[in-house]
Chain A
């Protein structure tokens, strides 16, 4: 199915015969996800959709902050970047991370997309209250992931970053 999708509509590729100006803008993707396989899946999809830009991975919210701030020996991620955030993580979960993010003067205007299995209304509300750019639910047959990543890539290309 995945193969079929690649050949079929992938939004970005086929839009009839209209050529789209490809804006070369290097945006870093920071993926904060604790599940190894889910992270792997994202890598695959990025590869398949040929999404450009550096991809940095963190295992939980704390590690994510270290990356953003350049603490603990990590190299600080430069702007512009998009954060793909999971919610259910050990040590520091997604919502906690968002709290930290939005109180940090330097980081508060970061663009965050939540990618989570949680369909909890409460989680959703809280996430949007913490000004996420989008809340995406990972369903079990996860063809949706491809659409989601595709959408994020389009976003990256079209939207002006703070």
Chain B
């Protein structure tokens, strides 16, 4: 997903869940900040690199794909952007262990880890709520891809068709992918930028949804393709519907975090809260354009009656950099860093507990080993 949904969409969900304008701003800022908190940013503000929640393209270009490098990447992407749906999924008979481990990293909504993610944020900071909402939302957009480099899981081929037009009268047309890093998507002609094909299993090009370009992050996109792990089964990805489900689930999750709901369960959505605005939301989600920030912002301000400031990545940097080292945890970014570390630790531990070493061994276990 993009800034329009992570920032403004989360703000709207928070308002509908009953949070105040100020708290909603902090939640949505944290949700969007997950896409910004790279090692480069943390180095700039002198924060801990282990709290990185994303990797920039330039960082990925320099990323080693040896075992420690792969584990480092998987820890970041699987924890924040491609939360595994089922770490104990059944695989076909005689599947080798490396394939089985990668298959179990496939992202999807309503898995056990989503519940743990939201419950982890309960009683925590607003930043933790924002991190949880980012992770929850991305399980819908990035479903069917894995947050670890894998050709056999994340590859796509020429069989890729998008629905051009509306759901009733649109036509299916084949998507054309190009690979120039400086190119941009041409939504009208159906030409999109994706990573180039690399036959090497652990190539960076095969990380996440790179082979499908930006298509999973466009809310208007409906497309069908053959996922590499699907054995020639076809997936129909309906982003408007998925995004709406994500929105309703965020409302429910944020109500739980506020205390208005007793438990957070999978497969539950607060459609009643969103129902009065469903038509408006679907209009925003289905318009064919690269960015819907303007419409989401207008909707957000209409909901809350307050001005919603634009996202500014550097808003809280000075506060963090000028704080004393003992006081950093109390700053906005300090709380975000703590929330990110907790989320990463939880997901890594769960992956390791399932017998999967793709994300390495969680830090807490290393400390226990060191102690004896």
Task: Decide if A and B are genuine partners.
Answer: no
Tell me the B residues contacting A by CB distance below 8 Å: none
Tell me the A residues contacting B by CB distance below 8 Å: none
